[in-house]
Amino acid sequence: MQPIIECVPNFSEGADLAIIKQITDQVETVEGVRLLNVDPGKATNRTVVTFVGHPEAVIAAAFLAIKKAGELIDMSKHKGEHPRMGATDVCPLIPIAGISMEETAKYAQRLAKRVGEELQIPVYLYEAAQPDKTRSNLSVIRAGEYEGFFKKIKQTEWKPDFGPAEFDAKRGGTVIGARDFLVAYNVNLNTTSTRRANAIAFDVREAGRNVEENGVKVNKPGTLKSVKAIGWYIEEYGVAQISMNLTNINVTPVHIAFDEVCKKADARGIRVTGSELVGLVPLNAMLDAGKYFLKKQKRSTGVSEKELIKIAVKSMGLDELGPFKPEERIIEYMLRNKADSKLVNMSLSDFADETASESPAPGGGSISAYVGALGVSLATMVANLSSHKKGWDDRWEEFSNWADKGEQLKNELVKLVDADTKAFNQIMLAFSLPKSTDEEKAARTKAIQEATKFAIEIPFKVMQASHNSMEVIKAMADIGNPNSVSDAGVGALCARSAVMGAFMNVRINAAGYTNKEYVNDILHRGREIENKTIALEAEILKIVDGKIGH
C-alpha cells in the first residue's frame, strides 16, 4: 500500500483570505499532494489547513507553507481567541495508510530540522516526534504563548529542538510533531460568559481542575478521557463555546463529548444550542454518531450512510453556525476517486442506457452485483418497516440488527458494480499491451493472467455477498412485517439471479486462467454457493406463498 500521511498545519491568520490563499497555493504547487480543507476562523484569527499525500511530498508542501506564513504573518500584531505562539503555530503529521506512527514521526523530525536550519525559525517537536516526553505535550510547550515566548526561549529547559534559541518577533515559534487523528470540536452555548463556559470545560476535560480539600490542593479529573477543553467567547457568533480536542475518538467519540457537555451545561443552567467541527472528521465518527442518536430514539440503525450523517448533523446541531457539507468535511469523501464509482453515481435511466450501448461494459457481472444489491435492499426495507411497526416496539432492536446486516451487504454489492467493470477494463488493457519482443510478450502474458484472476474474484465476491443476503431475506419473509412479505420474495428472486449471473462470469473468465488448480477450486466453491442459494430461494418462496395465500 502506498504510504499516505495527513498534515494539518494551523496558521495564525483567520481574517485575511488573500494571505490564507497565498499559503495554500504553496501547498498545491507540490505534485502528489491533495489539499482537502481550508477552515478559517475570524474570532480565533486562525486557519486550519488539511492536505494529504505521499510523505515526501507532504513534508515538502508543509515546508513551503511554513515559509510563506512566516513571510506574510506578523505575530507582533496578532490577536485571537485561540492559544498560539507562531505564524505557523502547530504542524502535525498524521499516519493515514501504509505507514506507522514511528515512520511518521521521523518525517516530522526531518521537516522540523529543515524548518529550523533553512528558515531559522525556533522549532519544538511534540507528541510522537518528541523523544523527551517531559516536553511532548502541546499545551505545555505553548504555555505562555507568543507574549511569554521571548523569556521562555532563553530558559535552558526550553531550548528549541531545531533552529535558533532567539525570539523571532515576527514569526514566533513553531511546533511540529506526529500524532494520531485528532478531532477539533466546539460546542455552542446560549451564554456569552467565558467563565461559565470554562467551568463546563473543566467539568468534562480529562485534566479537570484543581480543588481544595482539607486545605490541600488536589486535582479533580473531568468526566471525559482523551479530551482537552477550554471555554471561550466567539465575538463572530456572539456566543461562548466549549472548544475541545478529542485526541482519541475511540475512547471518547464526538457524540459522547456532545452529550456530556449537554449534561454538564444543563446542570449549570446553560443550554447547548449546537456545535461545529473544525477541519475534517473520519466517516466512522459521523456514522457512529448517527447510530447513537437513532438508538436513543429506539429507531433502526440499518439506514444509509447519507441518512446516518443527516441524523448526526441534526442531533448535534453541526449546521447551526454554517452549512455542514459531508463531501467537504468527511475525510474519506474527500479522498474518493470519482472514477471508482462512475456507474453507481449514474441515474437509473443513464445506467440502463450505458448498459444497452455498444460498449461491452457494464456487462453481466456489474448487473448481477446491482441486482444483488436491490435484493438485499428489499429485505433491509422490510427490516426497517418491521422495526418501526406499531405494536412491535419491544422488537425494534431485533429488526434494527437485521437492517444493519442488510445495509452492510448492500454497500458491499454496490461497490462491486463498478469493481466488475474495472476488472473487465483491466483485461482489455492487458490485451492491448505491446508484444513485439520476448520480454514484452512475457510481461503481456503476466498482465493478462493477473487481470483475469481479478476478473474471476470480483464476481465470486458478488456470489458470496448475494448468498449471504439470503439469511436476511429469509428472516424477513419469516418474521418481518407480513404486509411486506412479497418484497422479501422479490428480494429472494433478485439474490438468486445475482448468484447465478455472477457465477456465469466466474466460469467464462476462469476459462482464460492457466492455473487449473485455482480454477477447479473456485468453480467447485461457486457450484456449492449456487446450489445452496437455489435451495434457499425455494424455502423463502414457500414461506412467501404460504403468507400471501392466493
Q: Is 155 helix (H, G, I), strand (E, B) or coil?
A: coil
Q: State CA 312 to chain mean position distance.
A: 14
Q: Is 281 helix (H, G, I), strand (E, B) or coil?
A: strand
**Amino acid in the structure at residue 211:** V
Pair 421, 412: CB distance under 8 Å: no
Pair 9, 91: CB distance under 8 Å: yes
Determine whether domain 338-548 maps to CATH 1.20.120.680: yes
Pair 366, 422: CB distance under 8 Å: no
The pLDDT of residue 174 is 95
Pair 52, 96: CB distance under 8 Å: yes
| Cα dihedral 235, 238, 242, 248 sign | negative
Determine whether domain 4-178 maps to CATH 3.50.50.60: no
| Cα dihedral 508, 512, 518, 520 sign | positive
Q: Phi then psi for 185, rounded to 5 degrees?
A: -140, 130
User: How is residue 269 annotated by DSSP?
Assistant: T
Cell triple for 169 = 518577533
Cell triple for 511 = 476459462
Question: Is 82 tagged catalytic?
Answer: yes
Q: With b meaning 16 or more CB within 10 Å and e meaning fewer, what string describes 294-303? A: beeeebbbbb
E-strand ranges in 54-205 read 88-97, 123-127, 174-178, 183-189
E strand or H helix at 131, and its extent? Answer: none
E-strand ranges in 323-473 read none
The pLDDT of residue 426 is 92
Assess whether the region 4-178 and the region 183-286+317-335 belong to the same CATH fold: no
**Amino acid in the structure at residue 253:** P
Q: What are the residue boundaries of the structural domains of the chain, listed by start?
A: 4-178, 183-286+317-335, 338-548
User: How is residue 185 annotated by DSSP?
Assistant: E
User: How is residue 49 annotated by DSSP?
Assistant: E
Measured N-to-C along each axis, helices 364-387 and 485-510 cross at an angle, to the nearest 10 degrees, of 160
Pair 43, 78: CB distance under 8 Å: no
Measured N-to-C along each axis, helices 364-387 and 438-479 cross at an angle, to the nearest 10 degrees, of 30
Q: Is 137 helix (H, G, I), strand (E, B) or coil?
A: coil
Pair 87, 146: CB distance under 8 Å: no
| Cα dihedral 381, 383, 388, 390 sign | positive
Find the DSSP H helices in 98-193: 101-118, 138-142, 145-152
Could you give the C-alpha distances from 524 to 247, 368, 521, in angstroms and in order? Answer: 49, 20, 5
Could you give the C-alpha distances from 72 to 21, 44, 88, 215, 406, in angstroms and in order? Answer: 11, 18, 11, 51, 53
Q: Is 211 helix (H, G, I), strand (E, B) or coil?
A: strand
* CATH number for the domain running over 183-286+317-335: 3.30.70.670
The secondary structure of 464-480 as a DSSP string is HHHHHHHHHHHHHHHHS
The pLDDT of residue 1 is 56
Q: Write out pLDDT tens, residues 394-429.
A: 999 999 999 999 999 999 999 999 999 999 999 999
| Cα dihedral 482, 486, 490, 496 sign | positive
Pair 344, 369: CB distance under 8 Å: no
**Amino acid in the structure at residue 275:** S
Find the DSSP H helices in 235-317: 254-267, 283-296, 305-316
Nearest-angstrom CA–CA distance, 462 and 414: 10
Chain length of the chain: 550
Nearest-angstrom CA–CA distance, 28 and 162: 26
Q: Write out pLDDT tens, residues 265-278.
A: 999 999 999 999 98
E strand or H helix at 371, and its extent? Answer: helix 364-387
Catalytic one of 168, 404, 420, 487: 420
Give which of 382, 406, 377, 373 is closest to 544, Cα–Cα. Answer: 382
Respond yes or no on whether the N-terminal peptide bond of residue 221 is cis (omega within 30° of 0). Answer: no
Residue-level pLDDT, tens digit, the chain, 550 residues: 578 899 999 999 998 999 999 999 999 999 989 998 898 988 889 999 999 989 999 999 999 999 999 999 999 999 888 889 999 999 999 998 789 999 999 999 999 999 999 999 999 999 999 999 889 988 889 988 888 888 889 898 899 999 999 888 999 999 999 998 889 999 999 999 999 999 999 999 999 998 888 888 899 999 999 999 999 999 888 999 999 999 888 899 999 999 999 999 999 999 999 999 988 888 889 999 999 999 999 999 999 999 999 999 999 999 999 999 999 888 888 877 777 788 988 999 999 999 999 888 889 999 999 999 999 999 999 999 999 999 998 999 999 999 999 999 999 999 999 999 999 999 999 999 999 999 999 999 999 999 999 999 999 999 999 999 999 999 999 999 999 999 999 999 999 999 999 999 999 999 999 999 999 999 999 999 999 999 999 999 999 999 998 7
Q: Are strands 33-41 and 46-53 parallel, antiparallel or unpaired?
A: antiparallel
Catalytic one of 39, 54, 82, 288: 82
Pair 168, 121: CB distance under 8 Å: yes
Could you give the C-alpha distances from 117 to 73, 121, 305, in angstroms and in order? Answer: 20, 8, 47
